[in-house]
Structure 1
C-alpha cells in the first residue's frame, strides 16, 4: 500500500463521537461522509449542524493550518460568503489531535455545516451555473492579497502541472483514448503552458466540482454554498473557472454553454481578461485529462474508493465531445459570454464594411441592389422550390427557380443570413456543441443567378486557398480571400459553389484588386448539386481554414456566429430595406393620394416606385432595390450627403430663426455664393424654392424697369406660381393652360438640331436671336419696350436644348439696348453642373443682370437664391420692406455653405466635365448603332438624347422614348423624357457620378435600346 492510504484515518463513529465531545464539547449524532483522503462525519447537534474532519496523517501541518486560516480570513472580510466557518476547540484552537489505531497522530477540525443539496443532484440550469460563477468570483475576489505558505504547494491538481498527465498515459489501455489525450496535451504544451506563468494568480478553491457545490433546497437555481477546501492553492485565477466548468460539463447537453454560464457569472464579480478566456477551453480539457489519467494510474490500488471513479466515465465522454469541437468556436462562445468580441476585431470589421459600403465594387456586373430580387424559399419543406432538395433534383429545382424568376420579373434570388433551414439533413448538420441538436441557421448569404454569372471582388484581396469539394451538397469550387483594408482588422471571405474554371486561373498568394474577377457561378454538376448560386460568407476569424468556416450554425449561438461570420449582405451590396419592408403598400398610397391630395399631382412611371432612402447616386425603394438616379438633380452632391446632413443637424440643434436678427451664416453664405459669380453680381437675396427665386427676380426687374413686358422662350418652364405659369409656355400652351397673356412675348426655342436646314451652323445664334429682336420691334411699334428677358441658360423642359454659340450675347445686347434687363434661370443647370464653369450662362460669355437658382443649391433642402447687381438692388430698395420668413435662415445657409464646400473639396466641377465628356462619347457611339438616336447633346452632367422616328425628317419618336425610359426604370436606372413631344431622354445625375456609375448607365441604356427596338422589352 502506498503512503497516502496507510495514513488515512479509520475511526469508528463511536470513537469519533468521543473525540468530538472531548475536544470540542459537542454532543450529537454522527453520520459518515465520503472523502478521498480524510475521514468526515456530519454532526447533528441540538442547536446546529457541523462537520468533523479527521485529517490524513500524511497531510503537512502547514496545509491544514492553511485551510483554517483561509476560512477565518473569509469570515473576517466576507462573512456573508456561504462557506464553512471553523468551530474552535475547548481551548480556542483551530485543531485538536488524536491517535488512530495505526499509532499515527491525526488532526481534528470542526466547521459549520452548510445546508443545501449537491449541485450534482440538480439539473444544473444555466441560472445555477451563472450563480456558481458569481459565487466563485466573490470567493476569489475576497482572497485578493491574502497569502499563506500552505498555498504554495506542488500538487498534481494544480492546473500548471497538467502536463504531468503525459507521464500517466501508459496507464490508459485504449490506443484511441491515448491519442485523444495526446492531442490535448500537445495543444497544452504549445498554446497554454508557455503563457501560464504570465497570467494573474491568486488563492483559489481549485475543486469546485458539483459535489463540492451546494444549491438551495427550495431553489436549485441558487448556489447555497461551497465546501471542501482541501485542494485550495495559489494558482492562475482562470483555473477556478476552468475546473468548475470541467465538472459542470459532465453529462451536460451543452458543455460549452455550461462553461459560458460559469464564466459569465465569474466575470460579473471578478472581471476576466481576454487572454485568460482565450485559454479557457484548453484548461477545461486539461482538468479532465488530469482527472482521467490520475484515475487510470490509481485504479488498481483504489478499487474500493468510489470517490475516485465517480466522474471518470462522464469525463471521458466530455473529452470526446471537446475533441470533436472546433476550439475557436468554443472560445468565441466563452468570449461572447463575458461581453468580449467573439474574436478580436470582429465588431470593427462589420463597422468598417458598413461605413465603407459606398466604395465597395459590385460583385456582379451591376450593383446587387440594382437587380429586382426575391427571397429564395429555402426554409419551407412544403415549398416545391425548396433549394435544399436540389442535391437530389438539381435540374428540377433549377428549372422551378428559373420559372419563378420569369413570371415574377426576378433577376436575383437571395438566401438571407440567419435564415432557418430546417430542411437540411445529413450527419454534416449535426451539432458538435449541443447534443441532439442540428445546425439550422444559415451563416452565409446565397445569391442565385444564372450559371456562368461572373463574380468580382468588392475590395482588394489575396487568395488564401482554392479547392474543389466533390462531395454531394458540398461547395464545389471553393475560394477563400483575405482582405486587409486600411483601418480595419483583416477578414476572410468565402466564395462557394463556383465553376471549376477558377482552379486553373487562381492560386494561393495571388493578389486581386477591387473589381477583379473571382470566379463564375457553377452549374449543378460542378457546384455540389445545387441550383446555381454563390454562397458568400465573411469570417472575422482569419485563422480558420476555408473548410472550417461554418456555413450553418446552431440557433442557440446565433449571436456568436453573427460576430464570427457577420451577414455579408452589406458587403455584397444588398440594401437593408430588402429584409425590412415598412409603411403602407403601394396600392394604398395611390388610393390615399387620390383621396387626400390634389388630383393633378402626377406620379412618375407606368409602375410607380415607393422610395424610402437615398444614398449618393442611388435611390432605394421599399423592397430594397436600388435605382441609379440620373434624373433628380435636386440632390446635387448626392442623396443624404453626410456633410450636408451634419451641417443641417448641427445648426438646427443650435438655432433657427428669421433674418431680422444678426447671424454669421447668412453673410458668410452670401460672400461665398457671390464669389462664384462675375464681379458685377454682388447682392444676394434668399428664398425657399426656385419658384420663389424667379418670382423675386420678376419683382426686381419690374421695379427697376417699371415695365411689365416679359420675353421668354417657347416651351419654357419657370415655376409654380401663377405669374410664373403665365411666363411658362410649357404650361399655358398645354392642356389646362389659359393661353398667353398680353404682357408675355414668346421667342423661338434656339434649338440648333431643329434649326432650318438652310441656316449655317455658325449663324444659329444670331438667327434665333432675331425672333427676340422682332418681338422688341413689335413692342416699340406700340410705344412700349421689354421689362426683362428670362431664359434658362440651358432650356431643360424644352428638351435639354443647348443654346447656339453667341445666342445669349446677341439677345442680351438687344434687350439691354431696348431698356430691359436679363434674367438667367440657373435653377436646374447651376452650381457647376456644366463642368467647365460654375454657371451655365458663362458658357455663352455673358453676364446677366439677375441670376436665379434653386433645386441643387441645398442638396434637397428647401433653399434658393437670387443674385443681382448693386444698381438693381438699389432700385428695389424703394421703401417697401422685403421679408421672407424662412429665406436665409441659419439652417438653410449652413446647408448652402456645406454644398459649396463639397463642390470645391471634391472637385465636382472637374468630375462633371470628365464624366460628362465620357458619357457623351459613349452616347455618340451608341448613336452609331441605333438609328432612333437622332441627336446627342450635353455639357458636363446635363445631358440629352433625342429620339427620332426618322433622322431625315427628325420626327419625334415619343413612344420609343417613353418605352426606353420605362425600360431603364425596370433595369434600375431613373431618367426622364422632355421636349415638346417627350422625345428627349433627359439626364441630370448627381455631381458625384463616377466612371463606374456612368458605365452602369451606358450598359442599361444599351440593353434597353436593344430590347425596345427588337420588341423584346
Structure 2
C-alpha cells in the first residue's frame, strides 16, 4: 500500500453498521441471536454478543483493509493456540458455510466481518492504579506473546499501518494537520523530531518479526491474584499485528502504562524487567525503547485528534484523548538520557562511568585528608528531636564542621533526612547528586580536565567531550567561552578574606542538561549514571555509604527464626522515628498508624534523656533497693481502682498475662481457665494456652490444653449475636461451658479477657457483658483478669483503662506495650491478698522487670502523658478519625464497619455486607498500597481483614486526615 492509500485509510470513520444490522448478520451467517452491546474501537465497529450458545465479539472493518491482513490475524490466533506457553487467545468462529472472514455490503458500503470468542477476564484500562505486580505481569505477557510469534510468518504481516513505529515520523507529519492548536502542534512535532533522531542510528540493529503491536490495557484480560492484583493472561485483539520492530512491541505496551503512572515514567520499569527475563532485548534495542515510547505517545495524541475531526461522535476516541495526552505529558516529563539509563538498569545492563584516570584535583591547595565529610543522612548523630526540619539545617551543620576542621563537605549519594517531607504521598528527592564544600574564601579552584567555559547567572560550566562540571560559588579567573587546559586556575572561592565560603560541584554526562541537585530514591540509580560522583575531583571518596536494605534482610532471614515475622514482603529499612512518623534509610517519611508500643511517639527527647541519665547512674536487677521501683509502683497502684494496690513488674505483656494466670490458679486453688475465642494474650506457655486467635496460630483451636475452656467470641459485628444489646445472649452461650466446668468438680481459677477485643479489630464488648460474666466467674471462686496490654493507658481517649467502659473492676490488671514507650516493660496490678497467694509457690523474680531504667522509663511515660495531655488527644483525634472512617462506609461497599474508640480503631473490610465474607486478600493489598503512599498499616483479626489502627497517642489531626485521605485514595483508585 502506498502512502496516499494509508493516509486515506487513516481518515476512515467507524463502519456504519447498526445493532440491527449486526443482528441480521449474526442470524443469517452464524445462526446466532442474542443481546448486543457496542465495544469501543478507533476505526472498527465491534459488538459483544450474549447468546444462549456463549459470548462472542462481532468485528466489522472497512473493505479498505486487505483481506490478507485479516487472514494474518486469524492465522496468528491459530498459531498461538498451538503454543503451550503462549497467552490465552480467543477462538475464531466460522460462518455457517465455513468462512472465517465474511465479505458483505451494508447500505452500499463494503465491509469484512469476523466472529471471535469473547475472552473472559478483567481488563486493565479501567483501573486507575496498577500495582507493580500488574505492571510486571503485562510486560511478561508481552514477552511471552512475542516469543510465541517469533516463528510465525504470513503475507498479511507486511502491511501499511499508521501504528507501525517504523513509520512514526511520516505518519506524525500526516496527522499533525488535524491539530488546530498551533502551540500544541509545534510541541508534538518537535517531540517527534527528537525521538526520531535518537531512533534512526539504532534502527539497522533492531530486530524484525511478527509482533502484536497493541498489547495494552484495552486488549488484554486477566485474573486476580491472591493479593487482588489483576494479572493479565489473555490477549483479545490482533488488529495491529505486523512484521515490525520487536522492541516496538514493548514500546507500545509501556506507552499504554503511562496513563496509569500518575506522572511517573519509572512506573514502566517492572514491565521492562519482566520482559527482559523472558525474551531479552539487545543493548541497542533497550536504548531505542524510550524514544519509541515517546514516538508512540505522539502518534496516540495526533491520531485521536485526527480521528475526532472525522468522527466527532466517536465517544471511545474522545474518552481516550485525555488519557493519551497524559501519556504524552508523562513521556516528555524527563530527559531521554535519564530514561535510557533507567531502562538499562532495569534490564540489568551496566553503564560505565566516565574515565577519570587523568583528572586533576579541583582544589590543588587543600589536602584531601583535611576535608571533614559531614553525615547528613537518616542515621546522623547530628539530628534529634526534629531539628532537621529547621530551615538551612544542613548548611548550618556543614559550616560548624568547617569552623572546627577548616574544610568540610557533604557527601554525594547521601539520602538527606532534611529533605524527607512529612505526610507526603510521593517519595521526595532526597538523594544528593552533588557535593557542597565549606572552606576558606579565596581558596584556589582549578580545572580538573580540559574544556570550554560557560558562565550563566553565577554558575560556571566546564564542558569536555565526555562530561560537564557545574560549579557555584566562584570568583572567576577565566573568560566565558574560553578554552582551558587541565589544571588551569578557574577562580577562587568567593567571600571576604578570613571568612568561610561555599562551593557547590556537580558532574553531568549530558551536555546542555541542567541536572537536579537531588533525586528521588526511585530515580537515584538512573540519575547517578547521568550525574556521576565528583569524588575523583577531590582525590578522596566523597561518597556516602549506600543502604544495604536487601542484604540486611537476607541476613535477618538467615539468622532470625522464621516464626519471628516482619511487616511487608519487601520491607523498608526503618532507622529513625519522630512523633508519629517513621523514616527509612532513603529518607522516605511514613505515617505510623500501627505502633501502639510507642505510645508517646518516636524519638521523644525527654523520654530518651530520662533513660540515658539513669543508664549513666545505675541499672541492675530489681532485688536491689532504689527509689525508682518504689516510686513507679506507687504511681501504678494509684492509677488502678481502689484495692488494687500491689504491683509485679515484668518485661512484656506475655509475661504479665502468664503471671496473672499463675496468680489466679494459686489464689483459687483451681487450674481451669475461661477465655474467649478470637483472643490473643501472648507467646509464653500459659498466655499462649489461653490465646485462640487463628491468625496468630492456625492450630489454636485444636491444640488448647485441657485446662483451657474457650467460649464464643462476643463479636458484635460478625459473631453469633450482632449489635450492642447482645450481652445476655452471649452470656447464655457461655453458661453451658460453665456448667461443664461445674460438673467436672475441678473448680474455676479465673477468666481472662481483653477489655476491648483488640486482636479482632478493636471491637467493643457488648454493654454489660463483663459485669455479667465477672459475676458468674466470681460466684465459682475464680478471678477476673483484665488484659489491658494493648488498650491500656488512655488509648481509648474516653477512658484510661478499657474495663472502665464496661463499668467493672477486675481482680487483676495486666498492662505492657505502651507503658515503656518501646522499652520492655510490663506489669500486673492486683490486691495484696491475691499477690500473697503466689508466695506459697516460692518467691517471684524478674531480673530486668522493674530495673532502675525500666522504672524510670515507666515513670517518664506517665509524666509525659499527663503533661502533653495524650489521653485527651486520643479522644479528640480519635473521635475525628473515626468520623472520617465511618464516612467511607457510605461510599465504598468494601468498608463494612468501624470498630473501637479513641486511637484504638479497626476498619473491617468485607466482600459482601450481608454474608460478611472477609476481604482478606484485598486488605493485604490495601496495606501494601498505603505503604507506597507513605502510611504504615497492617491487617488484624482472625480473617486478617481489619485495619489495625493503633498509632502513637501524639497523632495530630493533620496526620489523622492524611491517613483518611490516603485510605480514600486507595479505595478510589484501587490497589
Q: In terms of Rg, which structure is larger?
A: 1
TM-score by length of 2: 0.49
Q: Which structure is higher in RCO with an 8 Å CA cutoff and minimum separation 6?
A: 2
